[in-house]
Amino acid sequence: MSFVGNFSFVVVCVVGAVLCSQSIIEFGVIVSFMIYIRLFTSPLGQIAQIATTLQSTAAASERVFEFLEEKELEDESNKNFKLESVEGKVEFKNVVFGYDKDKTIIHNFSAYVKPGDKVAIVGPTGAGKTTIVNLLMRFYEIDDGEILIDDVPISSLTRENVHSLFGMVLQDTWLFEGTIKENIKYSKLDATDEEVENACKVVGVDHFIKTLPEGYNTIFNDGTSISVGQKQLLTIARAMVENAPMLILDEATSSVDTRTEQLIQKAMDKLTKNRTTFVIAHRLSTIKNADLILVMKDGNIIEKGTHKSLMKQDGFYKDLYESQFTSKHAEVIEN
Ligand SMILES: Nc1ncnc2c1ncn2[C@@H]1O[C@H](COP(=O)(O)OP(=O)(O)O)[C@@H](O)[C@H]1O
Ligand SMILES: [Mg+2]
């Protein structure tokens, strides 16, 4: 539109100059034509602007309507039973699940977890490990089968109740805008400052936080420069403060270096003691001491047992475990 406006100025000037030099028109005519052009092009420019606004409105409303059209969560106001303190027995019974109805991802998953056990789920990317965690937390409803906590099917509990039983640290960390202290206290609002600081000391971010200008009261937002690993440590501290009866760690230490991981590992061992814990980890050395290792592939458990028994089986787990060491060897040799 501005090109059309400016181009007409040029045309008027050139044509006007020619006509004026031949005394066909007077100079005043050129000036008045310039004013006409201005009058003509400014509404055109406005229309163009409105068109852009309309386009972004259309794009935004698409998102709003998409959200409004989402299916409502099932009403749970009639569920009065509440599981308060749990022993930590978890049982998966023939669980079948797919995000889309026509594509099953978890085919027939059964597992029994004794109270206080540390269960490791390992397997290649896309095997369905995170999906199992999502089902356990009831973020999605299973298509068939049952998940029981202390012999109570989780479908008979309210979602809030299920969530309150687990502390979780996920692969993708999320922190909201607010002070670091508020972020850590998020899952237990009545935590004292001392609890917060202790948790941070244990995971080793206390020192880092103290170097920030406002310490624990530093406002955390998009501009705060903090590494992914440090974010992960903060969410681990959050889970520690929460102190829930069961714990889920989904690649919780994937973004921190190996030495920090070892330090966290020690703290975690304290945290996971006598507490049913589900650990998903890529570095298999960190889950060697698990009471039960479930090896998943394409939504099925293909092997299960302890580290020792799985190594003896000489199957997929052994391959996976050894590949981590051989690749490290290869790196050392290359360097
Ligand atoms: N929200 C989702 N919607 C549809 N498909 C999904 C979703 N999340 C994961 N999947 C699919 O489920 C499979 C298992 O994913 P996931 O459980 O995240 O694997 P991982 O073992 O790496 O954690 C993958 O094939 C993935 O494409
Ligand atoms: Mg995952």
CA distance 10 to 6: 7
| Residue 129 alpha carbon, nearest atom of ligand 1 | 21
What pLDDT sits at residue 320?
Answer: 86
pLDDT at 327: 58
Where residue 175 falls among pLDDT bands split at 50, 70, 90? confident
Longest dimension (CA), the chain: 105
Question: What integer is the mean pLDDT of 296-309?
Answer: 89
Give pLDDT tens digits for 190-239: 888 888 888 888 888 888 888 888 888 888 877 777 777 788 888 888 88
Note the pLDDT tens digit of each residue in 252-263.
777 778 887 877
Where does the pLDDT of residue 328 fall: very low under 50, low under 70, confident under 90, or very high at 90 and above? low
Over residues 24-34, mean pLDDT: 92
Q: For residues 257-279, give the mean pLDDT.
A: 80
Tell me, using a 6 A CB cutoff, whether residue 99 lines ligand 1. Answer: yes
More confident residue, 1 or 92: 92
Answer whether 127 contacts ligand 1 (Cβ < 6 A): yes
Chosen CATH of 90-334 out of 3.30.70.20, 3.20.20.80, 3.40.50.300, 3.10.129.10:
3.40.50.300
Q: From the CB of 131, is ligand 1 less than 6 Å away?
A: yes
> Would you list the domain boundaries of the chain?
2-69, 90-334
Query: Which of 105, 141, 250, 298 gets mutated to test ligand 1 (max ligand atoms within 8 A of its CB)?
Result: 105
pLDDT above 90 for 172:
no
Task: Check residues 32 and 81 and name the one with the higher pLDDT.
Answer: 32
Judge if the beta carbon of residue 128 lies within 6 A of ligand 1.
yes
Token pair in block for residue 70: 């989402």
Closest listed ligand to the CA of 99: 1
Residue bearing the CA closest to ligand 1, atom 24: 126
Q: What ligand has the least distance to the C-alpha of 139?
A: 1
- From the CA of 171, the nearest ligand is 2
- Going from the Cα of 151 to the center of ligand 1, the distance in angstroms, rounded, reads 28
Least distant ligand from the CA of 134: 1
Pocket test of ligand 1: the residue of 130, 171, 302 to mutate, having most ligand atoms within 8 Å of its CB, is 130
Give the model's pLDDT for residue 95. Answer: 92
Which is more confident, 63 or 169? 63
Q: Could you tell me the end-to-end alpha-carbon distance of the chain, in angstroms, rounded to an integer?
A: 60
Across the strands, what pairs with 93? 146
Q: How far is the CA of 281 from the centre of ligand 2 (A)?
A: 9
- Position 56 scores a pLDDT of 95
The pLDDT of residue 278: 92
pLDDT(334) > 70: no
Six-digit token string for 293: 């290792």
Residue 131 CA to ligand 1 center (angstroms) comes to: 6
If phi > 0 it is left, if psi is from -120 to 50 it is alpha, else beta; for residue 276 that is beta
Render pLDDT for 82-129 as a digit per residue (tens, 0 to 9). Answer: 888 888 899 999 999 999 888 889 888 899 999 989 999 998 888 889
pTM comes to 0.76
Mean pLDDT across the chain, nearest whole number? 86
Å from CA of 134 to ligand 2 middle: 10
